[in-house]
Amino acid sequence: MSIAPARDPVVPAEAAQPPLLVVDDIVMRFETPEGSVTAVEHVSFDVKQGEFLAVIGPSGCGKSTLFNIIGGLLDGYQGRVAVGGKRIIGPHRSIGMVFQEESTFPWRTVIDNVAFPLEVAGMTKAERIERARHFVRLVGLDGFERRYPAELSGGMRQRVSMARTLASEPKIMLMDEPFGALDEQTRLLLGDKVIQIQQELNQTTLLITHNITEAVQLADRVLVMTYRPGRVKRFVAIDLPRPRNSEIVGSDTFGHYVAQIWSDLREEASRGMIADESRSRGRGRAE
Amino acid sequence: MSGLSKSLTRSALRPVLIGVGSLILFFIFLEFAVRFGLINQFAVAPPSDIVKAFPRLFAEEHVGDRFLDTAFEAVIASVFVALFGISAGVLLYKVRILRLATETWVAAFAAAPTVLLYPLFLVIFGRNATTIIMMGFVAGLAPVTLKTLEGLSTTRRVLVNVGRSFNLTEWQLFWKILFPSALPTIFVGVRLGLVFALINIVGVEFLINFGGLGALINELSERFDLAGTYAAICFVILVSVMVFMTTERAERWLTSAG
Amino acid sequence: MADVGRLKNPSLIGPLLNPVMRLRIVIIVAVVALWEIVAVSGWLFRDVVPSWQRIIASLAATLSQGDFYFHLWATVYEIAVGLAVGGTCGLAVGILLGGNRLLSQSFESFLYYLGPTPKIIFFPVMIMWFGIGPGSKMAMGAISCFFPIALSVAAGMREIDRVLIRVGRSFRLSTGQMVTKIYLPAMRAPILNGVRLGLGVALIGTLLAETKLSNRGVGFLIIQSYNTFDMPLMYSLLIVLFALAIGLNSIIGWFAESDRMRR
């Protein structure tokens, strides 16, 4: 059984290598008109160099809050986020974010979108185009360099966003439901692309998702969160061979992991559904 | 909206033919109605006389020079409108409290009948081109300000977050993300501003009988030159439709590229 | 939801303590003070900027004279007739264009491109047709408001939820019933918005015509104040006019907005 208790037991053999990203005891509260709401409570985990960690939880578990805290876009939390042993505050060069929503710049071509982080870093035009071309090729969009986002499909646009983030060469790539708006088949195929890129660059990746298949398909380890307040419920190590591709979705072991995570998640998701229903009932009465 | 852009396809050709055809039929009817006395010939000039009056407009009334006068005033007014309107929009966006305090005022100003200020402007600036340019400026300012503000504040949050995640400075955030994202909307505002300015400019030229095309209509009507008046009105309509269509093309090109 | 938001709006709780209100007061006071300095010192715009005292005195005198109300009534009457004629035509043409694809494709672009042309240039023609009396001013109002109302109604008609139209057809309503029971109620917001825009331009068209050639109306009073160089009178007339125009515009806008919110 690979189900671990709430704190990840550090395997002695790997203890020699310090984790790249440490998220330590994060607590985040929001003040709302109805009072204080705790979105994230005492969340701690680490990600090792080259590891792919997926954070999964029901909607309303504070996943996106966690994403914004680690990315440095959200302030006012307790706890600590550290990269390579150093605490980081605010947006940091070592963390690259891929957003859930459509986030390509519609006024820039594909190549100029990807070159964006290099441009603001002050790289010369020739050099940054050359570099950007490499990342465009990496996500499989060669031939589309001169196109505008409006001319691409949703899946292609998300790949542009990913290439743009990768071009800034972050130590950690942080993704928030990057394929949430896409259909299931595109999502599986893009998953293959992500695995391939992650392997090729040995890219440390933290994926936030509510999709169990996606988490098991991509991750080395899955962190299951509870419904509000979001806490760490369990870590599940995904012991599937690499290199992987989407064909493993049909395998027995895959199904076993999915079932295992779903049994954890089901409880949380139904708690969330009941809470949502009673809230909308209350709102209906107030009006 | 405009059937003209789609006129290339065969199925869209029919409505164009119907539209233009009805217009021609209407003119033919008008021609005969006036000739046979169904319509008072001192109220409506027969279309053939209007057409014949056009060369006269160019040869005797120097409509070309008149057009340049109006165009000059419109260009100056638009440049000022764009300059001040965009700056005011950026200022209101940056200084939140100023926006909260004055946005409704700007909106009210945009809806106010500013062209009725022309007697006041006449007193202040005199009966000259400055008054006309200032009237154009006043008409175009508010829409450009409001559209600039709208464009900047409707920049999608995630695009700003992308910028912040790449650690952009305030300056970079504005020039690399907010401004380009707002540009299509700003252009809509500038185009509105130009159209409003042009309407006011021609109108005030007519009212104070000074300057370009508007004044020409006034002079011809005071001389009871019926066909000439109609021809000049047609010319002004032609010019404003052309300006409207060209800027619309530019806007569509800009929004599709951006 | 909207009511809750409004109750929490700080501007109603402490109007004077709220920083936005304070800034507004500061701006108004600064403008008034600057005006007064310019007026009293006479450094700039001499004789063009009278002191507030004289403007308010003139405003009070104007508003207490029966003569002003004669002119105001003349203008209101012209605008009302213009709006009624232009609006009815606009509504009819808008419904035709909005309801028929071929008509819309054939003729709507004419309206669309004629809409943003300066209407005042038609005034000489209107004088030839309707004389120099109130008729030509009413015609200016009607021409001005016809375009925005027709375009707004046509666009509004096309935006009606197709399901509502299918519901009407499923009850086998006649064309007349479709218009009165489905189309018009479903288009209240665009119609109101068209009337708001139309009223604005009708007011401009009528008043500009009055300033050009007439012997009654607020426009006539304004141009007379220009001819007699009575600056306080001109300012007080413009203040009344702008207050009326902005007030009417926001009342109709408020109606349209509250109508939209209810759905």
Chain B: residue whose CA lies nearest to C131:
B43
Predicted pLDDT at A11: 47
Q: Which residue has the higher pLDDT, A2 or B171?
A: B171
Q: How close B58 gets to chain C, by Cα (Å)?
A: 19
Of B4, B18, B119, the CB nearest to C211: B119
Predicted pLDDT at A205: 93
pLDDT band at B61 (very low <50, low <70, confident <90, very high): confident
**Could you please report the per-residue DSSP string of B96-161?**
HHHHHHHHHHHHHHHHS-GGGGHHHHHHHH-SSHHHHHHHHHHHHHHHHHHHHHHHHHTS-HHHHH
What gap in Å lies between CA B92 and CA B147, rounded to an integer? 11
Of chain B residues 123-162, which have a CB less than 8 A from chain A? 156, 158-159, 161-162
Q: How close B174 gets to chain C, by Cα (Å)?
A: 25
Residue B51 has pLDDT above 70, yes or no: yes
Shortest CA distance to B163 belongs to which of A22, A207, A44, A103? A103
**Which chain C positions have a beta carbon within 8 Å of B97's beta carbon?**
19-20, 23
Domains of chain C: 2-49 (no CATH), 58-261 (1.10.3720.10)
Predicted pLDDT at C97: 92
Q: Are B166 and A91 in contact (CB < 8 Å)?
A: yes
Of C106, C208, C219, the CB nearest to B18: C106
Mean pLDDT of A22-37: 86
Can you give the residue ranges of every domain in chain B? 1-44, 50-257
Chain B: residue whose CA lies nearest to A166:
B166
Chain segment A39-90, per-residue pLDDT in tens? 888 999 999 998 999 999 887 778 889 999 999 888 889 999 999 888 988 8
Chain segment C201-219, per-residue pLDDT in tens? 999 999 999 999 999 999 9
pLDDT band at A31 (very low <50, low <70, confident <90, very high): confident
Of B167, B168, B258, the CB nearest to A106: B258
Which CATH superfamily is B50-257 part of?
MetI-like (1.10.3720.10)
Chain segment A236-284, per-residue pLDDT in tens? 888 888 778 778 888 888 888 998 889 888 888 787 788 777 777 766 5
Q: How close B121 gets to chain C, by Cα (Å)?
A: 10
Q: Are A103 and B176 in contact (CB < 8 Å)?
A: no
Of chain B residues 161-220, which have a CB less than 8 A from chain C? 195, 198-200, 202-203, 206-207, 214, 217-218
**Coil, helix or strand for A169?**
coil
Residue C240 has pLDDT above 90, yes or no: yes
- In DSSP terms, A204 is beta-bridged to A172
Chain segment B140-167, per-residue pLDDT in tens? 999 999 999 999 999 999 999 999 999 9
Chain B: residue whose CA lies nearest to A69:
B165
Chain B partners (3+ C-beta pairs within 8 A): A, C
Predicted pLDDT at C15: 58
pLDDT band at B10 (very low <50, low <70, confident <90, very high): low
Residue-averaged pLDDT of chain C: 87
Residue B22 CB coordination number (10 Å):
13
Cα B114–Cα C118–Cα C207 angle in degrees, nearest 5: 50
Q: Are B165 and A72 in contact (CB < 8 Å)?
A: yes
**Which chain C positions have a beta carbon within 8 Å of B241's beta carbon?**
113-114, 117
What gap in Å lies between CA B23 and CA B47, rounded to an integer? 12
Predicted pLDDT at C1: 35
Q: Strand A35-47 vs strand A95-98: parallel, antiparallel, or unpaired?
A: unpaired
Please name the residue that has the structure tokens 């018009």: C184
What gap in Å lies between CA A114 and CA A164, rounded to an integer? 4
Q: Are B177 and A105 in contact (CB < 8 Å)?
A: yes
Q: Are B176 and A106 in contact (CB < 8 Å)?
A: no
**Which chain A positions have a beta carbon within 8 Å of B167's beta carbon?**
90-93
pLDDT band at C172 (very low <50, low <70, confident <90, very high): confident
Rounded to two decimals, the pTM is: 0.83
Q: Are A99 and B181 in contact (CB < 8 Å)?
A: no
Residues with Cβ within 8 Å of B96's Cβ and at least 6 positions away in sequence, in order, are none
Q: How close B1 gets to chain A, by Cα (Å)?
A: 22
Chain C partners (3+ C-beta pairs within 8 A): B
pLDDT band at C6 (very low <50, low <70, confident <90, very high): very low
Q: Are B158 and A101 in contact (CB < 8 Å)?
A: yes
Cα C116–Cα C118–Cα C123 angle in degrees, nearest 5: 140
Chain B: residue whose CA lies nearest to A161:
B162
Which CATH code is given to the segment(s) A1-94+170-239?
A: 3.40.50.300
Of B108, B116, B237, the CB nearest to C204: B116
Q: Are B202 and C121 in contact (CB < 8 Å)?
A: yes
Mean pLDDT of A120-139: 93
B4 CB-side CA count, 13 A = 13
Of chain B residues 81-120, which have a CB less than 8 A from chain C? 97-98, 100-102, 108, 111-113, 115-120
**Could you please report the per-residue DSSP string of A99-162?**
-SS--S-TTS-HHHHHTHHHHHTT--HHHHHHHHHHHHHHTT-TT-TT--GGGS-HHHHHHHHH
What gap in Å lies between CA A201 and CA A85, rounded to an integer? 22
**Which chain B positions have a beta carbon within 8 Å of C222's beta carbon?**
116, 119
Chain C: residue whose CA lies nearest to B233:
C121
Residue C69 has pLDDT above 90, yes or no: yes
Helix H segments across chain C?
A: 2-8, 10-13, 19-41, 52-64, 66-99, 101-114, 123-130, 134-158, 162-170, 175-177, 184-186, 188-212, 218-227, 231-261
pLDDT band at C262 (very low <50, low <70, confident <90, very high): low
**Which chain A positions have a beta carbon within 8 Å of B180's beta carbon?**
105, 107-108
Q: Strand A172-176 vs strand A204-209: parallel, antiparallel, or unpaired?
A: parallel
Predicted pLDDT at B93: 95
Can you give the residue ranges of every domain in chain A? 1-94+170-239, 103-169
